[in-house]
Structure 1
């Protein structure tokens, strides 16, 4: 992310360059911030009853921000504080988008160094493409630091083993698959490709791709199934976790797995639900934290404030903090546990908090 602090020290100029930048921007934005940006709005034209959709420069008083994965956009909503007088837009509600490569100015009375450093250190942590295939089906998924997303999945329909056309059908299907994979690698700028499956199709696919692409890391892995089931199996493999451990989506899964193990044998080493985790965070007892992003920008002031204080307290005591999106694989588990879990540094009976 490109960031420049203006001379008055109340404004920062930002150009997000990756989805991770948009994600981090969403996390630092606060209700009441002012954003100078360009939006499209239907405005009345002079001496005319009709309206035209025009781009206008405005100063928006922020009410809410919403990250939209895989779109390259951050949706913002608020009230127009300043805008072109001839259009009479001041005081009107307005939604808009912050896109990759778009320059915006954010105004706040005071910017602390911690927030600025978080923005300055933002950037893409890598992407991986996974394909799991067998002779019946395949699936392609994308892993980013923000979550795991299914890009496409479908079935194969090959003739029987005795049919002379079978080999040609397989060859044609794999060639088509290679072209789509190459397209995804280019579009998403993935730097790791994982090819998995139970049979020899994965090796054939690997050989075809290797002839075309030589600037990314390719990993072959054995799993029991193709399709979505194969993707999920890949995500549980230690070898893959090692390669992708810097991605927060994978790290979140690791912490959730550890949490569930402790929940079964040592409940005094864990805390969950917003109230419990908030209380242990004030004691500096958190070692590892996973929290859903929806709590951080909740419309409920109390909920949002507690979530933000949990993160601040955890970071203060150097805990591992992972913020998971609602699209991540751990989201259902976290939701059932109140949206946030913590692994503690030491045993802490619940009566103590």
Structure 2
């Protein structure tokens, strides 16, 4: 992300260069902040009942934000604080779309703190991986980014049985088609790691085709029981693959969830979940690792959002490991069922202590 900061530190000029940058902007914008940007708005024409859509420069007071992965856009809802007087837009509700490569100014009073500025400075893509799970019945292609795991496509394969004289021809056609799809994704998504998994020899043949014109790409081939989405889930739990994909937040968050579930059964005093429970643990500096769904940090409920923000701030102060995931991530439903946030603790907090603190 390209940024410039004014002397008073209340305005930052920002140019997001990746979806990760847009996500960081969303997480750190608060209600009451301002953005200066250009929007399209229907303007009433003089002496006419008709309207015309025109681009206008505005200062927007932020009310809420919305980010949808893989769209390359961040949507910001708010109220126009400043705009062309002749159009009478001041005080009107407006949404603004921020795209990759678009320069905007974000403003906060009295100023942006150094911690948030450093988050902007350190933002950027952390690499992207493609995972393919294929067998003779179906294949699934999923994308892994630092924001989560996203299914790009799933297709059923209609390959004839082993006795069919057309079987080999059909297999070759399928492999060429899937290879073409993968090559397109590698180019479009700037993939640097490719994992191909499946139960049989099909995955090996596919890997050989891809390697012909992508000799610099890191390609990993592994066995799983099934193709399709079941195969994706299986490979993401394989330790050898986890070790390779450790740079992705979503993979590390998955490991924390697995550790959490083991402790729930065997050592429940060493974990916390739900906002109130984790808030107390963060307040006394007891958090070692925390996983939180991003929507808690831009929650429309002020009290819940403030609690989530304070959890992250306290966790940062005590050097806890923090993993913020999107609600589209594979593990998000599990985290959601636990209140949207979980934590592994540094020390035990017995239930009677938590009860005394109204948790």
Q: 5+ unaligned residues in a row in structure 1: which ranges?
A: none
Runs of 4+ residues over 4 Å off in structure 1? none
CA distance in 2, matches of 1:334, 1:311: 16
Deviations, residues 104-161 of structure 1 (Å, cap 9, x unaligned): 0011121111110011000101111011001111000001111111110111111222
Corresponding residue of 2:196? 195
Distance 2:163 2:124 in 1: 52
1:86-112 CA distance string (max 9 Å, x none): 211110000111110000001112111
Instruction: Show the counterpart of 1:52.
Output: 52
Q: How far off its partner does 1:346 sit?
A: 1.1
Deviations 1:257-310 (A, max 9, x none): 000000000011011110010011000000000011111111111000000000
Question: 2:129 matched to 1:128?
Answer: yes
| Larger displacement relative to structure 2 (34-43 or 153-162) | 153-162
- Cα deviations across residues 53-111 of structure 1 (Å, max 9, x unaligned)? 11111000001111111111111000001111121111000011111000000111211
- Correspondence 1:278-289 to 2 at 5 A: 278-289=279-290
Name the residue aligned to 1:16: 16
Q: Distance in 1 between matches of 2:39 and 2:61?
A: 13
1:1-353 to structure 2, matched below 5 A, reads 1-109=1-109, 110-353=111-354
Three-state SS of the structure 1 residue aligned to 2:343 is: strand
How far residue 213 of structure 1 moved from its aligned partner, in angstroms, is 1.3
| Count of aligned positions | 353
Q: Encode CA deviations 1:202-248: one digit per residue, 9 max, x unaligned.
A: 11001111111122211001000000000110100111111111111
TM-score scaled by length of structure 1: 0.98
SS state at 1:48 partner: coil
Q: RMSD value over aligned CA atoms?
A: 0.9
Q: TM-score, normalised by structure 2?
A: 0.97
Paired with 1:113 and 1:160, the residues of 2 have a C-alpha distance of: 63
Instruction: Classify the secondary structure of the residue corresponding to 2:13.
Output: strand
Distance 1:59 1:215 in 2: 46
Distance in 2 of aligned mates of 1:99 and 1:351:
50
TM-superposed deviation, 1:47: 3.0
For 1:280 and 1:331, the matched residues in 2 are separated by: 21
Gaps of 5+ in 2: 355-359
Q: Distance in 1 between matches of 2:59 and 2:298?
A: 21
